[in-house]
């Protein structure tokens, strides 16, 4: 027995649009099956994972807080993935943005520094992520080093740097030896959009990034260059588009947005430097980018959906004693389903029996 | 046994999982399939082998379970990238995420359990040679197995008809298909072999290297093994050299941490990752673009009808 792929002569745009939804449903069924195998009720798990986080305003705010870094990073990644370049080190760029931005917060701690601190921190955050993202891009364009491996290795190095800073030079001397920095001053804290809420300005940045990206992708020469470089590299070269410049540009954008997400998370959400500041947002954002079909509005929706399962995973751990690893496994299955659905939009699968082999 | 010899012994132990995993991935990549799920397959191998070894109180059953778990993960990957012609890079990442999550679920009940060291097989005579004797002739089965595997893979790829077929499929799948070679079937087998090797490498980590299971214990070794394949220019012999260089680097950084040179431990922990980047850079400096990369690596194949 084997599978045979038959190209579909014309791909229906409706199918293309609902493919991620189908993928999501299939992933849910598989996850439900796994939960059933573990001897739990898939129905109550579904309630805790999906319905519970939508139940009250506190949970809804939490949803936006979690979706913010995912959307920001995934929007950046969509530039890379569109150009068929594989930045899988967004987690490291997130951390480096947070580090560089936090440096200013700690340097101005206890001084009367004015309201310029937080904008400057955001700029430093973008810069930190951008420069860190440019390392694999530079190694690729200048020396031809594979960007997948270098960007990933840099994640570990960024995490170790953060760990060192939080336990070493940046540790709060009055913090009872806890490996964390002082709490940022109000001037170094990213404010909430509405007073008293938990949703900080990062959510607004994410929204702006979505709108700007939608414009860039569909209405600008740069967006055209990206898509052409990704879909038909030879044609792009003939059109006079320099692939190296494209590489550097998309890594700078995605690194910058990941860095922005990092400093927004630290200054708007955590409020201090800790040995670990991300539950893997940079990796989860890869799933978000594909689930959103690399389309900015799709990514926004995907970020909210994935944030839902992340929060659901946390409450499932508390309420049902279901391990957090289940969420991770679910994300893996989901990404496999999304990529399969993407491919199956263009192909029809036929099972071909081979006599006794079948 | 001197400290020096003890360090050399741990280097052999640390290098073996790199070697096994890299050899498997090398074969898969030579057939034209890039499986970035190595880290996840190794995690599954580590968790499943440990669970099976504790349950049945047998390291051998454990190793078999590890290889099987890796192969099953690879089968899932093959279904998606070969069956549905989905994107290989994305699917490989998905496999890693899935493997890290699933291994956590499987391993959770076994946190805190500990295995006894597995038996070493001493080869009479040879094991009494100075230094190399204890190093290579009084080792466990995995170490011997990994060395035999290196030779076997090298022989298979370069001296057999099937190996030639596999390489030509990896080099240009369209031409290979036109010649009537079964592209997808060969790739399926190569990917399954890669998965079994990754599972075995994971099994070695949990059964021999640490002798316990903990989440996150693979710690990027799968990614380093992927880099090793590039380092080796897709040649088994060089994979052996590379695995031992990286094994040595990861052991020496541990000893340097213990010796407390006044450097923060994080700097030393970063050494294997930084070294990987540096090695990839040096290779590119010497040869320009990655040499030896199979021509069809990473591109999906859909036979024309």
Which pLDDT does position A358 carry in this prediction? Answer: 33
Helices of type H across chain A: 13-37, 42-46, 57-82, 90-107, 117-143, 147-167, 202-219, 221-231, 233-238, 243-265, 281-291, 296-319, 325-346
Rounding to the nearest 10 degrees, give the CA dihedral for residues B27, B30, B33, B37: 40
Q: Determine which helix (DSSP H) or strand (DSSP E) holds A7, and give its type and residue range.
A: strand A2-7
B263 against A102, higher pLDDT:
A102
C-alpha span between B190 and B82 (Å, rounded): 12
CB pair distance less than 8 Å for A38 and B274? no
Is any Cβ of chain A less than 8 angstroms from the Cβ of B245?
A: no
Nearest to A144 among B273, B284, B305 (CB): B284
What's the alpha-carbon Rg for chain B, to the nearest Å? Answer: 19
Q: Please tell me which of the candidates B87, B97, B274 has its beta carbon nearest to residue A157.
A: B274
Nearest residue, CB atoms, A333 vs list B98, B269, B277:
B98
Structure tokens at B129: 């040679």
> Could you give phi then psi for residue A280, rounded to 5 degrees?
90, 30
How far is A345 from chain B, CA to nearest CA, in Å? 10
Residues on chain B touching A149 (C-beta within 8 angstroms): 223, 226-227, 230, 276-277, 280
Size of interface A-B (CB pairs under 8 A): 154
The model's confidence at residue B288, banded by pLDDT at 50, 70 and 90, is low
Tell me if residue A191 falls in helix, strand or coil.
Answer: coil
Structure tokens that stand for A128 in this block = 């930190």
Residues on chain A touching B305 (C-beta within 8 angstroms): 6
**How far B266 CA lies from chain A's nearest CA (Å)?**
5
Chain B residues within 8 A of A325 when measuring between CB atoms:
100-105, 108, 215
CB contact under 8 A, A344 and B84: yes
Q: Could you tell me the sign of the dihedral formed by the alpha carbons of A68, A70, A72, A78, in that order?
A: negative
Residue closest to B20 by CA, chosen among B148, B175, B167: B148
The larger pLDDT score, comparing residue B23 to residue B130, is at: B23
Answer whether residue B86 is part of any domain.
Answer: yes
- Are B101 and A88 in contact (CB < 8 Å)? no
CB contact under 8 A, A153 and B273: yes
CA distance B278 to chain A (A): 9
Q: Is residue A123 helix, strand or coil?
A: helix
* Closest to B199 in 3D by CA, of B104, B99, B119: B99
3-state secondary structure of A3: strand
Distance CA B217, CA B214 (A): 6
Q: Which residue of B has its CA nearest to A3?
A: B83
Closest CA–CA distance from residue A108 to any residue of chain B (Å): 26
Q: A347: which chain B residues are within 8 Å (Cβ-Cβ)?
A: 84-85, 302
- Tokens for A146, please give them: 């594979």
From A153, A327, A347, residue closest to B302, measured CB to CB: A347
Dihedral pair phi/psi, residue A215, rounded to 5°: -70, -50
pTM recorded for the entire structure: 0.91
B253 in A contact zone (CB under 8 Å):
no
CA distance A186 to chain B (A): 31
Q: Residue A19: which of A278, A355, A338, A300 has the closest Cα?
A: A338
List, as ranges, residues 201-220 from B with C-beta within 8 Å of A.
Answer: 215, 220
pLDDT category at B290 given cuts 50, 70, 90 is low
- Band of pLDDT at residue B289, cut at 50, 70 and 90: low
The whole-number pLDDT of residue A356 equals 40
For residue B8, give its domain range.
3-119+133-287
**B281 — contact with chain A (CB < 8 Å)?**
yes
CA torsion angle for B131, B132, B137, B140 (degrees, to 10)? 80
Displacement of CA A141 from its chain's centroid (Å): 24
B86 and A343 within 8 Å at the Cβ level: the answer is: yes
Tokens (6 digits) for B32: 């034209």
- Please give the Cα distance from A51 to A63 (Å, whole number): 12
Residues 6-45 of B with CB under 8 A from A: 36, 40
Instruction: Please indicate whether, in this complex, the C-beta atoms of B226 and A150 are within 8 angstroms of each other.
Output: no
Do residue B87 and residue A342 have CB atoms under 8 angstroms apart?
Answer: yes
| B58 in contact with A, Cβ within 8 Å | no
CB contact under 8 A, B280 and A145: yes
Interface test with B, best of A144, A292, A333 (most B CBs within 10 A): A144
Q: Is the dihedral of CA B246, B276, B278, B287 positive or negative?
A: positive
Rg of chain A over all Cα atoms, to the nearest angstrom: 22
The number of domains in chain B is 1
CB B25 within 8 A of CB B35: yes
Tell me the angle at which helices B236-259 and B221-231 cross, rounded to the nearest 10 degrees.
Answer: 130
CA distance A246 to chain B (A): 18
- d(C-alpha A241, C-alpha A228), whole Å: 9
Q: What's the N-to-C CA distance of chain B in angstroms?
A: 65
Q: CB distance from A339 to chain B under 8 Å?
A: yes
**Placement of tokens 């012609």 in the chain:** B85
Give helix A147-167 / helix A117-143 axis angle, nearest 10°: 140
Least confident of B28-32, B84-88, B158-162, B262-266: B262-266
Q: Is the dihedral of CA A107, A110, A113, A116 positive or negative?
A: positive
A345 Cβ contact partners less than 8 Å away, ≥ 6 residues apart: A8, A11, A15, A16, A19
**Chain B residues 81-140 within an 8 A CB cutoff of chain A:** 83-87, 89-91, 93-105, 108
229-288 in A: which are within 8 Å (CB) of B? 283, 286-287
Residues in chain B closer than 8 A to A38 (CB atoms): 105
Partner A contacted by B230 (CB < 8 A): yes
State whether B102 and A325 contact (CB < 8 Å): yes
Q: Supply the CATH number for residue B54's domain.
A: 1.10.3470
Residue A178 is given by DSSP the state -
Strand partners, A134: none
CB B243 within 8 A of CB B19: yes
Contacts of B227 (CB under 8 A, 6+ apart): A149, A153, B276, B279, B280
Distance CA B206, CA A273 (A): 33
**Cβ pair B164, B155 in contact under 8 A:** no
- Terminal Cα distance for chain A, rounded: 4
Are A332 and B99 inside 8 Å of each other by CB?
yes
Whether B294 maps to a domain, the answer reads no
- pLDDT the model gives residue B291: 64
**One-letter-per-residue 3-state SS of chain B:** CCHHHHHHHHHHHHHHHHHHHHHHHHHHHHCCCCCCCHHHHHHHHHHHHHHHHHHHCCHHHHHHHHHHHHHHHHHHHHHHHHHCCCCHHHHHHHHHHHHHHHHHHHHHHHCCCCCCCCCEEECCCHHHCCCHHHHHHEEEHHHHHHHHHHHHHHHHHHHCHHHHHHHHHHHCHHHHHHCCCCHHHHHHHHHHHHHHHHHHHHHHHHHHHCCCCCCCCCCCHHHHHHHHHHHCCCCHHHHHHHHHHHHHHHHHHHHHHHHCCCCCHHHHHCHHHHHHHHHHHHHHHHHCCCCCCCCCCCCCCCCCC
Rounded Cα distance between A324 and A314, Å, is 7
Q: Name B140's bridge partners.
A: B120
Out of A139, A152, A287, closest to residue B281 by CB: A139
Query: DSSP of A154-170, one letter per residue?
Result: HHHHHHHHHHHHHHTTT
User: Which residues in A lie closer than 8 A to residue B36 (C-beta atoms)?
Assistant: 148
CA distances to A100, A134, A255, B302 from A131, rounded to whole Å, are 11, 5, 7, 39
Quote the ipTM score: 0.90
Residues across chain A: 358
pLDDT in tens, chain A (358 residues): 677 888 888 878 888 888 888 998 999 999 899 889 888 888 888 888 888 878 878 888 989 999 999 999 999 999 999 998 999 999 999 999 999 999 999 999 988 888 899 999 999 999 999 999 999 999 999 998 989 889 999 999 999 999 999 998 999 988 888 899 999 999 999 999 888 888 999 999 999 999 999 999 989 999 998 888 888 888 888 888 888 999 999 999 999 999 999 999 999 999 999 999 998 899 999 999 998 989 999 999 999 999 998 888 888 888 888 888 888 899 999 999 999 998 888 888 887 765 444 3
Which of A120, A150, A96 is CA-nearest to residue A262?
A96
What CATH topology corresponds to A69-321? ABC transporter involved in vitamin B12 uptake, BtuC (1.10.3470)
Nearest residue on chain B to A344, alpha-carbon basis: B84
- For CATH 1.10.3470, the residue range(s) in chain A are 69-321
**Higher pLDDT among residues A121 and B113, named by residue:** A121
């Amino acid at each position: 027995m084997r599978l045979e792929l038959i190209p579909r002569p014309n791909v229906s745009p409706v199918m293309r649009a609902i493919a991620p939804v189908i993928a999501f449903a299939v992933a849910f069924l598989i996850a439900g099956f796994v939960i059933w195998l573990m001897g739990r009720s898939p129905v109550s798990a579904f309630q805790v994972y999906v319905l519970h986080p939508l139940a009250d305003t506190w949970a809804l705010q939490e949803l936006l807080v979690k979706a913010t870094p995912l959307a920001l990073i995934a929007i950046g990644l969509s530039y890379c993935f569109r150009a068929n370049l594989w930045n899988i080190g967004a987690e490291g760029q997130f951390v480096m943005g947070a580090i560089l931005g936090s440096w200013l917060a700690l340097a101005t701690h206890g001084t009367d520094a004015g309201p310029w601190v937080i904008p400057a921190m955001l700029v430093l955050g973008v810069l930190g992520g951008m420069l860190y993202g440019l390392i694999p891009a530079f190694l690729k364009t200048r020396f031809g080093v594979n960007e997948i491996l270098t960007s990933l290795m840099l994640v570990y190095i960024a995490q170790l740097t953060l760990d060192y800073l939080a336990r070493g030079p940046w540790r709060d001397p009055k913090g009872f030896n806890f490996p964390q920095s002082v709490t940022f001053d109000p001037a170094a804290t990213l404010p909430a959009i509405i007073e008293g809420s938990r949703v900080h300005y990062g959510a607004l940045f994410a929204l702006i990034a979505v709108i700007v990206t939608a414009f860039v992708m569909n209405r600008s020469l740069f967006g055209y260059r990206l898509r052409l470089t990704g879909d038909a590299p030879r044609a792009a070269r003939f059109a006079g588009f320099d692939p190296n410049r494209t590489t550097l540009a998309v890594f700078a954008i995605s690194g910058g947005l990941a860095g922005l997400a990092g400093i927004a998370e630290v200054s708007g959400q955590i409020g201090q430097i800790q040995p670990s500041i991300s539950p893997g947002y940079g990796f989860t954002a890869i799933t978000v980018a594909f689930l959103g079909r690399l389309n900015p509005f799709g990514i926004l929706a995907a970020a909210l959906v994935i944030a839902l399962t992340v929060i659901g995973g946390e409450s499932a751990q508390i309420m049902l004693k279901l391990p957090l690893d289940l969420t991770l496994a679910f994300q893996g299955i989901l990404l496999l389903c999304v990529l399969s659905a993407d491919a199956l939009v263009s192909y029809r699968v036929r099972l071909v029996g081979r006599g006794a082999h079948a | 046994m001197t400290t020096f010899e003890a360090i050399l012994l741990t280097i052999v132990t640390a290098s073996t999982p790199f070697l096994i995993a890299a050899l498997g991935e090398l074969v898969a990549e030579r057939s034209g399939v890039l499986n970035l799920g190595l880290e996840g397959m190794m995690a599954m191998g580590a968790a499943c082998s440990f669970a099976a070894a504790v349950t049945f109180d047998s390291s051998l059953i454990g190793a078999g379970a590890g290889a099987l778990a890796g192969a099953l993960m690879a089968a899932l990957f093959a279904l998606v990238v070969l069956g549905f012609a989905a994107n290989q890079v994305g699917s490989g990442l998905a496999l890693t995420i899935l493997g890290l999550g699933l291994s956590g679920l499987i391993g959770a009940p076994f946190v805190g359990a500990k295995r006894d060291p597995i038996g070493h097989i001493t080869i009479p005579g040879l094991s009494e040679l100075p230094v190399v004797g204890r190093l290579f002739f009084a080792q466990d089965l995995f170490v011997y197995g990994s060395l035999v595997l290196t030779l076997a893979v090298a022989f298979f790829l370069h001296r057999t008809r099937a190996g030639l077929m596999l390489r030509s499929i990896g080099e240009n799948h369209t031409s290979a298909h036109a010649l009537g070679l079964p592209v997808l079937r060969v790739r399926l087998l190569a990917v399954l072999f890669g998965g079994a090797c990754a599972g075995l490498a994971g099994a070695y980590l949990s059964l021999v290297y640490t002798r316990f299971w903990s989440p996150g214990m693979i710690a990027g070794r799968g990614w380093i093994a992927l880099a090793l394949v590039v380092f080796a220019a897709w040649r088994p012999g060089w994979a052996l050299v590379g695995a031992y260089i990286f094994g040595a680097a990861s052991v020496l950084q541990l000893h340097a941490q213990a010796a407390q040179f006044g450097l923060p431990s994080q700097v030393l922990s970063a050494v294997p990752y930084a070294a990987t980047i540096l090695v990839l850079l040096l290779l590119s400096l010497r040869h320009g673009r990655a040499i030896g990369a199979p021509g069809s690596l990473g591109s999906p194949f859909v036979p024309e009808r």
